[in-house]
Every structure is written in C-alpha cells, then in structure tokens.
Amino acid sequence: MSPGLLAALRSAVGDGALITSAAATAGYAHDMMPLAPYGRPLAVVLPTSTDQVRACVRACAAAGVPIVPRGAGTGLTGAANAVDGCVVLATTRMNRILELDPDNRLAVVEPGVVNQDLKTAASGHGLFYPPDPSSLDTCTLGGNLATNAGGLCCGKYGVTGDYVLGLEAVLADGSLLRTGRRTVKGVAGYDLTRLLVGSEGTLGVITRATLALRPLPAAPGTVIAAFDSVARAGASVNRVVRAGLVPSLMEIMDATSLRASSAYLGTDLTGPGDQTLLLCQSDAPGAAREAELAQLERLFREAGAAYTHATQDAAEGALLLRARRVSLAALEARGACMTEDVAVPRTRIAELIEGCTRIGEDAGLTVAVVGHAGDGNMHPTVLYDRSSTDQYARARVAFDAILALALSLGGTITGEHGVGKLKQKWLERELGPVGLRVHRAVKDTLDPAGLFNPGGMLTRRAAAGAHRDS
C-alpha cells in the first residue's frame, strides 16, 4: 500500500469517493473484452470536479503511480483496463450537462454524462446528438470521446470526433489544457482537440467537452431486405452507394447473428433458410423519406433480395432495429464472445464476411458478423466455450486472423472501439515505423513518465506496471 498517496487522494475527493478494498476495486479492473490483460488497482477515485481530477493526477505524479482514466466500462478493447498498483480514475460522477445552447447548436458536458441522456436533453430543444454506440443507454461521453466511438448512424452522420468543438483535459503534470472553440469554424494552431479524441486516456483526462448538435431529424422509415447469399447483400450495398443514397443507417447481419437475434427476441425476422439481412432507415423529411425507402427497396430487389419489407411506422421500425441492437446480447446468450471491430472498404464487406466464415471453420468455432454496411465497419464475433482452454486458445487465433484479413482487404484494425490493451502490435503493423515513431513522440512529450494508462494503445519500451491475462 501507499499510505501517503492514499491520504492525498482522500484529501482530494473525500472518503466516500476513494475505494481501496480489493473486492470493490475489482469491479473497476477491466471492461467487457475477455481477451484484454488487466491488473489489480491500488485504489479507485470518483472525482466530481475538474479540480479534484487535477489533485488526483498531481498526487499520482508525485508518487510515480500510474493512473488509468475510466468511463462506464462498456469498452471492448481493454482501453480502460487497470495495471497492477495503479489508481483508476472513474469519471462517472462528473455527470452534468453544463450548458445546452439551442441558438449555437452546442452542448457543454462533463465526461460522465450518459450518451442517451444528452440525446434526450437535446431533443427537448429540437436538436440531435448523432453518435449512437450500441451501449448508448449506459456508455458515457468521456468514454466515447476517449475512443472516438461511432454507432449505427455513422454512414450518414459520422463518429464522435465529428461533433467535438473543444475539450478541457488534465495533463500528466496536473495542468489544465483547453482546446478548440465554440464557433462553427476555427483553424488557429494545431488541432489538439482531434489529438485528444481517440487517445484512450494515454495523453490526458478529459473533464469537459463542447459538442456540436444538429437539428432533430424526422422519425425514420425502415426497409429490410433478406438475401440468400452474402455476395448479393454486398452487391446491394454497392448499388446504394452508386445511386447516391445516404440512408441514416444501413446495417448488415449474417445468418448466424440473424438466427441468434430472432431466437433472443422470440420472433421470425425473415422466414426460413440461411439469410443475410440488410436493415436501412431514412430520416429524410416528408415525401423524400417515402421516395428514398422506395428506391432502396427497388435496389435491393434488383440485387436479388429474396424478401423485402418497408414501413414508415416508427414503432415497427424500432422493433426491427432492435434485432440489430441486441445482436451481441443474443450471441452472448449462446456462449462467450470475442467481439472484433474492423473496417474495410464498402466494396469488400462481402469478402470480409465470407473470410470470417472460413476463419471460423478453420478454428472449429462459429464466427458471426454484424456491422455498419454504410461505412464498412464490421463486428465479427468469435463464439467459444468459456470453460474450455482449448476453445479459448483457438478463439484468440481466429481473432488475430480476422485482423489480418481486414488489413489484407485494405481495411483497418478498428473502426470505432479503439486499440486499448488488445491490439497494440496490430496498430504498429498498421501505422508502420514512421507513424509509430510520431505516436511515441507525442506520448513522450505529453506524458514523459508514462503514467497515463500505461500499456494502453502503444506498447512502451519500459512499460509501467505488470499485467495479467483475464
């Protein structure tokens, strides 16, 4: 134990916001990814203000103890996983919407605000915060910012970073950095805001964000199409892109994930047989929405869809979309899951899905795929028996094979979940030596002692803290 550090942390946040028991800190040690390594925290702090965050960071810096920032723990790469002897700084109690400005279409928020809570607050002013991760009702904006999270509507609306106007962040020496602006335009200096977004707690602790909002779109209409082959489904995505259509979401589910969601919800979504499902929505206003849905349905039929269905009923559309949103829970109901997050050019979605099937067959396991067809961000999920050491090992091999496949198709190892403590070696492969050198230089400049989230994103030459597999 470190009594001097614990006393300083207690002074900073108070007795009720300092957790030191092994049983309680264990709940903050890792996120939802079973592959990523994690350690045992010395303590967990739950600050409620920027000043408290600064005091905690200074105390850790003085003691030479690593600090790992954490949101709600819904991540899937171990980006907020603890290392042995670290202090986990959880920002969930910093949960205020400080300002909502309808005239300038912006909100100022603390990092512990839940994504859905901002959406709800914005909608009361006729505004819309677009980023919508599948965990939107539990994930916090701080975690979204740290991983540059996406969601189902990225094809039309973009990811978290596209809505960040400015940030406030505590640096490794406890100083407070303010970046960005409140204006629509602004190009003064280096774009430090973009540098911090997606940095996964390795460069600073985000304590405030100024976020852009958009006008609230119309209630969406929905169209689904079932295909008897992945190739036909992929071809239909290409037809949509070539036609110049930009649906508010375009999701794909392979036969395995579709069966799992159907069983989970107790409904038959498309009928008999192995089918790949495309689910699209249009939030265009009025008659334009009806026209876009009709054009999507026509394109799907021309591409060989075995079944199509369109509806402008919002409740029915929400039920159809729920099948996609519950897909991971539905797969988890069948066994342990290792969920990937790769992105490929949209023209190569079918190749990726077919390749994942082959990888699963080679490993003797099932690989299910769902994803955002509108932007090529796919989520292959490897199913395995948690009690089987052999299956776990084969699942890890399949996991790496999927990353290699994505890169071979001109893709990336992560489209929205981040790198975390899971994909560092693969990041080095994607960045190349020059890109890696620049990343290390930025890290070393802002965190020379390497105390912020050690082992996160970049492997270090002398990583602080020991790790153990989960």
pLDDT in tens, 125-160: 999 999 999 899 999 999 999 999 999 999 999 999
Which one has a higher pLDDT value, 351 or 463?
351
Q: Is 433 exposed, middle or buried (0-12, 13-18, 19+ CB in 10 A)?
A: exposed
Give the pLDDT of residue 33: 84
pLDDT digits 0-9 by tens, 366-375? 999 999 999 9
Give the pLDDT of residue 419: 95
Give the C-alpha separation, 324 to 252, whole Å: 8
Q: Do domains 97-215 and 335-419 have the same CATH topology?
A: no
Token pair 């134990």 in the structure block, residue: 1
Structural domain boundaries in the chain: 97-215, 218-325, 335-419
Give the pLDDT of residue 120: 98
CB atoms near residue 306 (< 10 Å) = 17
Best CATH choice for the domain 335-419 from the list 3.90.1150.10, 1.20.58.1690, 3.30.110.40, 3.30.70.2740: 3.30.70.2740
Token pair 């996120």 in the structure block, residue: 31
Q: What is the mean pLDDT of residues 233-242?
A: 95
Task: Check: CB of residue 339 under 8 Å from CB of residue 75.
Answer: no
CB proximity list for 113: less than 8 A, separation 6 or greater: 95, 96, 97, 140, 141
Is the alpha carbon torsion for 195, 201, 204, 205 positive or negative? Answer: positive
Rounded to an integer, what is the distance from CA 466 to the centroid of its chain?
Answer: 26
Give the pLDDT of residue 100: 98
Closest among 119, 316, 346 to 245, alpha carbons compared: 346
Best CATH choice for the domain 218-325 from the list 3.40.30.10, 3.30.70.3450, 3.40.50.2300, 3.40.50.720: 3.30.70.3450
Give the pLDDT of residue 9: 98
Is domain 97-215 classified as CATH 3.30.465.10?
A: yes
Give the C-alpha separation, 426 to 396, whole Å: 14
Q: What is the mean pLDDT of residues 190-204?
A: 97
Give the C-alpha separation, 319 to 221, whole Å: 12
Give the C-alpha separation, 233 to 240, whole Å: 11
Q: What is the mean pLDDT of residues 304-320?
A: 93
Q: Could you tell me the end-to-end alpha-carbon distance of the chain, in angstroms, rounded to an integer?
A: 23
pLDDT digits 0-9 by tens, 262-291? 999 998 876 666 799 999 999 999 999 999
Give the pLDDT of residue 466: 37
Task: Check: CB of residue 77 under 8 Å from CB of residue 199.
Answer: no
Give the C-alpha separation, 278 to 276, whole Å: 7
